[in-house]
Homo-oligomer: A and B are copies of this chain.
Amino acid sequence: MYDETTGIGFEGGPAGCGPLLPGPGAESKPLRQQVFEHVRAAGRAARADVARGLGISAGSVTTLTSDLIAVGLLREIEGTSRESRESGRGRPPVALEVVHEGRLVIGIKLSDERHSAVLTDFAGNMLADATLPTIPIRKTAVQILDEMGELIDNLMTAAALSLSAVTAVGLGLSGLVDHDTGIVPWSPLLADRDVPLKALFEARFALPVHVDNDANVLTLAELWFGAGRAMSDFAVVTIEHGVGMGLVLNNRLFRGTRGMGLELGHMKVHLDGALCRCGQRGCLEAYLADYALAREASTALGRNARNMESPQALLETLFGEAKAGNHAARTIFRRAGRYLSLGLSNVIQLFDPELIILSGERMRYDYLYADEVLAEMRGLMLADGRVPCKVEIHAWGDLVWARGATALALSAVTDAVLG
């Protein structure tokens, strides 16, 4: 029987209702791991703090922490009695901290002009960093692995440590990256398609690696070390060579169904609009990314198309001209700013996050990030009584991305050790 009015059929007998859940899906982590992560998140915390923070009994905390101390994951800090309490009455708390030695992780951010790497301990403290300049051309997987080898060598030399001390690696690069399989279907850095980067890396360096899109990695940096730590739902938008976005929903990085990144840069903002490097028309990227500005710059500056100035230098010139009052140059930034407003307002309309973080080095072009742009963004949203979404601007360097990549490794190692 099929009910025409409701459109919902009953296939013989009671069909039931409600979502069909796949399994019992262990949603929440074991309490032991929660205790550990609470201490790490706080930096240091007394047992009583943990009990209050997690809402569990003091007795449980004693049991769990003594176990964690026994296996060498936590330890007590001597002489923490006096600090960190306003009224010093009662028995002073004994602070706990993560035993951060011994489980080191590396975070790597691959880029077209320079690769960056960071070494952190198990508490997330940065121990060393390294940078490797590189030629901005598409490379083979072997070339990229060679470069990563050199980068890692530099990093371990700077830290005066052996690579054998490292437990895991996190890796972020732009393009389409399948986090689950570690395969890179396409990346602007790679000449080949469908590169099994995880497998290649692990074969070469004999270290487990966790690969992800660079926008996701940057979002993890905010979630683990930055403004997003206390926030359950936020978006990170970044403008570099392309336009990327990462999204945290319910305190977790959201990756779509197919485990790939969210392609904000290829959101269409104009039917049959400007040509994008992806081959389509009207993508947000085609109005915002550096190549989009650069191609207009040569018109505005009257340069010859054969002039082989680097897009980077071209943009700097354009920015200078705009500041100096060149009208054509100004309209280029102006239009880009308006499209940025539009893109951001769309993100807010669709996701309704608590906060949007604009991040990336291009944030220096304040034409893009002026108050004017933010005001325009607010003007493009539905004017209803709700609290407007906060916006933060982080003009941070490449090391933040690499640090986000360490979070990828840190959480994997934590799950492995405590799961």
Contacts and interface: CB of A to CB of B under 8 A. Distances in A.
Nearest to A280: B380
Interface stretch (A6-14, A65-73, A310-318): A6-14
Nearest to A54: B24
A268 B377 CA distance: 11
Contacts of A279: 383
A382 B6 contact: no
Interface stretch (A148-156, A160-168, A298-306, A346-354): A346-354
Given A56-B24, A267-B346, A397 B353 contact: no
Contacts of A270: 269-271
A139 to B, nearest CB: 20
A145 B214 CA distance: 52
Contact of A268 (B282, B346, B397): B346
B407 A17 contact: yes
Contacts of A387: 258
A342 B281 CA distance: 11
A102 interface: no
A258 B352 contact: yes
A386 B185 contact: yes
Given A186-B384, A262-B349, A263-B349, A397 B6 contact: yes
A14 B97 contact: yes
A316 B364 CA distance: 53
Contact of A7 (B34, B251, B400): B400
A341 to B, nearest CB: 9
Given A8-B225, A17-B40, A123-B17, A257 B385 contact: no
A230 B225 CA distance: 37
A251 B43 contact: no
B342 A271 contact: yes
Interface in A118-149: 123-126, 129
A233 interface: yes
A179 interface: no
A346 B54 CA distance: 39
A249 interface: yes
Interface string A177-189: 0000000011000
A109 to B, nearest CB: 12
A263 B352 CA distance: 9
A282 B273 CA distance: 14
Contacts of A410: 17-18
Interface in A221-264: 221, 223-226, 228-230, 232-233, 245, 249, 251, 254-258, 260, 262-264
B407 A352 contact: no
23 contacts: A5-B129, A7-B395, A7-B396, A8-B221, A8-B400, A14-B123, A16-B124, A17-B407, A17-B410, A18-B40, A18-B41, A19-B229, A21-B251, A24-B55, A176-B386, A256-B353, A257-B352, A260-B352, A263-B350, A264-B350, A268-B345, A268-B346, A347-B350
The 7 tightest CB contacts between A and B, nearest first, are: A256-B352, A17-B124, A16-B43, A7-B396, A14-B43, A27-B27, A263-B349
